[in-house]
Amino acid sequence: MDARAFLDRGAVRLDDVGLEYRFAKSVGVGGVDAAAVAAALPRARAAAGAFRALLETGEAPCMDEAVLWPRVTPPEQVAPVQAWAARARGADVVLSIGIGGSYLGNRVLRDALLGTTYNARPRAARGDWPELHFAGFHLDPAESRDLVDLVRAKAAAAGRPLRVVLLAISKSGTTTETLASTLGLLRAMQEVPGVKAELAALTAPGSVLSELVRAKQGEELPFPEGIGGRWSVLTPVGLVTAAVSGVDVGALLDGARAAQAAIRAADGDPGRDPALLYALLHHLHAGQGRAGAVFMPYSERLRSVSEWYVQLLAESLGKEKDRQGQVVHAGRTPIVAVGTTDMHAQTQLHQEGPHDKTVTTLDVADWGPATVADRVPDEAVAGKLAGKTFAQLNTLAREANEDALRGSGRPSDAWVLDRLDARGVGALLYTLMASVAYEGELMDVCAYDQPGVEAYKKIMKARL
């Protein structure tokens, strides 16, 4: 395998799903050149072999339980989710209660595919789907009160009974934030005049949440086996809220399967596997002291992808010990940024601060036809901006940022979707998860456990 041959192309593209990884500005910077990539190719092939074995067996050497997320959710697990969504469709409000992987992926699918203003639209403009709100991803008392006040106002304005479905998501059923928020919000909703509150849960059988749902005569959905929270966005955990808000779940999974097929067909060739090349380049940059990982979508709709990626990278690769038990204190530190907002906030640091980070951007090539709201009028006062669409300006800003970083010896790379649709998002999320799995192999750490999280939970529960 000739590293220079694929590096000279500067991009790896998955044509079937319209996803491209552009890496030209990440190579030849800070000691990561073609020679370094070529020297690391045997490790990349080994990482690909380990991922292929995981896909085939569902077994990770560092885990006692199955790891099944790479297989993509089968139809028999999707059917109960879609059936529940059909029954819940008549609700006015669905309140999804969860934290970490039981929240972040769900937020990605709502914001990216439905928009951050989804709940503000009239019901007809939402395709006759209910509002979808999130709770339990913090223990902020003011936010919980405000949420109840919002429902109270909606009930008063409706002039009829308001149907509110609380959907609690937790594998263990004992997650502090989820359980506390479910109990508190359920009681609060039951006390709001004009509200008919229902409870459902996606949890393991026999859990505390499971027992609570049965006691309240609610509906229980099974939590998928072999799925960790941060790997769950394309399983019933993430699909349940997508389905109840009108997202095309079938297209999401089709995109994930297409990405999986491309990764398998690449057979360890980074020139055809964008997830593997992304993992390899960032692993090499980390070896040069660049352990900071800025993930910077150029869209408010995609901000939540960055927030989701933060958990995926941090929990998976931030480990005290490697798989041989040696203390390594490994990991890269992910940083949420949004373009162009943070070009006016963080870029000064990225451009002139320590040489300790990489910058990954995320953009969409085709936002559809521009309207008067996202095109600069042809007026003299607009100067060089006249006639430009916001999409054009956004891309110009991203590319200028990347060129400026390269000019000062700082690496950047970009993920670009042809369009922002369910199939492309499914492929993107699967590819990013595969990249973290690969990077865990390159670092020789277990990407699927989270002992550091368990440490604080034990202390907190002891003090309750």
Catalytically annotated residues: 315, 344, 457
Q: 146 is written with which tokens?
A: 């405000």
List beta partners, residue 197: 164
Please choose, from the candidates 408, 233, 423, the residue with its C-alpha nearest in 3D space to the C-alpha of residue 312.
Answer: 233
Report the interhelical angle of 34-57 vs 249-266 (nearest 10°): 120
Give the Cα-Cα-Cα angle 78, 84, 90 (nearest 5 degrees).
135
